[in-house]
């Protein structure tokens, strides 16, 4: 039993292996949101912006996330969604290399990141382009034409993890600016942005940070470059003096210029409370435990079902905090597991995915999942038309 599990509200009878999509409810977040609603919004009304620090949340929470990703104080700002953050990072990165026009990414990247790149390119027009190569071919594809290397560290489908330090160095050697998407890294694997030297990074907070559905994203800009950026999404709260209501934009110092509009105060309150648990844990330790639990699950599942093909690498430095498999009946298998109270998820076309978060997942969870899976296989419970009907969110 891990010490921190008691800090989460987990429903009885549920084995939750989907914290890589949406972390569970921290009890502290439930209480903090209730207090923010009643004691702050309910009594302070508009005074909350000044009196209880709502306006400072984006910077204050950025400083709480910074140590989890090896970033300096003052280099991270919270708000918006990850898709918007990637757009901001890309536009900023391209502006640092005006004489180059190619964005390089890989086929393991999350679609939204690639869509954002495509949208930005169509706005900028020729000769900008997006090039995606297989994850193992990224380094070889770098060259004097690449303006920006944009990658997600941990592949959301397979759990494969890039070597951030090595690829950042290679990209810098080729003269490119580097952006890391840390969606499946933050709170799950050790990240050291300062050591790797990437110019930009962004991530979401509703996955391993347990900030709640729709929790805001974060953006990191290396302290020596943020001052050179003219933000493309220049919103009033990124202005140096928003309440001067100056018709002309003048950027706030540093990363604060990437703020856009009014922060989601209730979501920020939930996130702020959710971050407390990270003050008491070591991410390297969490990741080591996640690898051991994931391997235990893999061994048990593959014993029950030898057709299950493991996708997630074995070396700790090459994997995130999930375990993924392929199987032709993957969707039905996941649905059958969910009906038994074991919640994982499915990613097209045939991937079964289980997030492992040792903040609350224990060996007992893994053993429960293995037992349920073996039962489903032995009794062909997955072979039911009800489990083949696709829901909107898989």
Residue ranges that bind ligand PLP, judged by CB under 6 A: 81-83, 110, 112-113, 152, 156, 181, 183-184, 204, 217
Query: Is 181 a catalytic site residue?
Result: yes
CB of 51 to ligand PLP, least distance (A): 30
Task: Give the separation between CA 214 and CA 231, rounded to whole angstroms.
Answer: 24
Query: Is 206 a catalytic site residue?
Result: yes
Answer whether 23's CB lies under 8 Å from 274's CB: yes
Q: Which is nearer to ligand PLP, 18 or 40 (CB)?
A: 18
How would you classify residue 70: left for phi > 0, otherwise alpha for psi between -120 and 50, otherwise beta? left
- Helical axes 363-378 vs 330-339, angle rounded to 10°: 120
Which positions ≥6 away from 204 have C-beta within 8 Å? 81, 82, 183, 186, 215, 217, 218
Closest to 237 (Cα-Cα) out of 47, 54, 55: 55
CB of 355 to ligand PLP, least distance (A): 11
Closest to 384 (Cα-Cα) out of 326, 329, 309: 329
Strand, helix or coil at 307?
coil
Half-sphere exposure in the Cβ direction for 312 (13 Å, CA)? 28
Q: Which is nearer to ligand PLP, 87 or 382 (CB)?
A: 87
CB of 142 to ligand PLP, least distance (A): 21
Give me the sheet containing 200-203, strands edge to edge. Answer: 76-78, 218-221, 200-203, 177-181, 146-152, 102-106, 129-133
Q: Which is nearer to ligand PLP, 81 or 340 (CB)?
A: 81
Query: Is 64 a catalytic site residue?
Result: no
Q: Which is nearer to ligand PLP, 7 or 104 (CB)?
A: 104
How would you classify residue 133: left for phi > 0, otherwise alpha for psi between -120 and 50, otherwise beta? beta
Q: Which is nearer to ligand PLP, 187 or 251 (CB)?
A: 187
CB of 183 to ligand PLP, least distance (A): 3
CB of 152 to ligand PLP, least distance (A): 4
Query: Is 169 a catalytic site residue?
Result: no
CB of 231 to ligand PLP, least distance (A): 18
Q: List the catalytic residue out of 206, 220, 354, 360.
A: 206
Q: Which is nearer to ligand PLP, 183 or 359 (CB)?
A: 183
Which positions ≥6 away from 119 have C-beta within 8 Å? 87
Count of positions (residues) in the chain? 394
CB of 362 to ligand PLP, least distance (A): 25
Q: The tokens of 3 are what?
A: 């010490």
Q: List the catalytic residue out of 16, 110, 200, 301.
A: 110
Q: Which is nearer to ligand PLP, 311 or 332 (CB)?
A: 311
Q: Which residues pair with 150 in a beta bridge?
A: 179
Give me the sheet containing 322-326, strands edge to edge. Answer: 309-310, 322-326, 351-355, 345-347
Q: The tokens of 48 are what?
A: 């909350």
Query: Is 27 a catalytic site residue?
Result: no
Which positions ≥6 away from 285 have C-beta within 8 Å? none
Q: List the catalytic residue out of 181, 208, 222, 365.
A: 181
Enzyme catalytic residues = 110, 181, 206-207, 353
């Amino acid at each position: 039993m891990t010490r921190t599990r008691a800090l989460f509200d987990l429903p009885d009878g549920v084995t939750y292996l989907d914290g890589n999509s949406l972390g569970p409810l921290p009890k502290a977040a439930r209480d903090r949101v209730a207090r923010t609603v009643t004691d702050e919004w309910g009594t302070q009304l508009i005074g909350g912006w000044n009196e209880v620090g709502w306006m400072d949340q984006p910077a204050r929470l950025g400083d709480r996330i910074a140590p989890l990703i090896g970033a300096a104080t003052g280099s991270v700002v919270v708000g918006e969604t990850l898709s918007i953050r990637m757009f901001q990072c890309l536009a900023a990165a391209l502006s640092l290399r005006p004489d180059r026009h190619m964005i390089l990414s890989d086929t393991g990247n999350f679609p939204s990141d690639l869509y954002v790149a495509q949208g930005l390119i169509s706005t900028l027009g020729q000769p900008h382009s997006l090039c995606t190569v297989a994850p193992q071919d990224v380094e070889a594809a770098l060259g004097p034409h690449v303006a920006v290397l944009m990658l997600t560290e941990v592949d959301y489908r397979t759990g494969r993890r890039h070597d951030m330090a090595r690829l950042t160095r290679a990209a810098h050697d080729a003269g490119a600016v580097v952006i890391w998407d840390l969606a499946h890294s933050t709170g799950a694997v050790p990240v050291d942005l300062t050591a790797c030297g990437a110019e930009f990074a962004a991530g979401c907070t509703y996955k391993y940070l347990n900030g709640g559905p729709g929790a805001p994203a974060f953006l990191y800009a290396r302290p020596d470059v943020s001052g050179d950026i003219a933000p493309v999404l220049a919103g009033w709260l990124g202005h140096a003096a928003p309440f001067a209501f100056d018709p002309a934009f003048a950027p706030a110092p540093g990363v604060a210029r990437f703020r856009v509009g009014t922060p989601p105060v209730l979501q920020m309150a939930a996130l702020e409370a959710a971050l407390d648990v990270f003050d008491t844990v070591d991410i390297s330790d969490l990741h080591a435990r996640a690898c051991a639990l994931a391997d235990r699950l893999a061994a048990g599942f593959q014993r029950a079902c030898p057709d299950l093909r493991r996708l997630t690498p074995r070396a700790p430095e090459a994997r995130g905090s999930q375990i993924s498999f392929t199987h032709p009946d993957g969707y039905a298998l996941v649905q059958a597991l969910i009906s038994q109270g074991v919640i994982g998820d499915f990613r097209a076309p045939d991937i079964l995915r289980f997030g492992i978060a040792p903040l609350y997942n224990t060996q007992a969870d893994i053993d429960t999942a293995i037992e349920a899976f073996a039962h489903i296989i032995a009794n062909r419970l997955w072979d039911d038309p009800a489990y083949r009907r696709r829901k909107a969110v898989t």
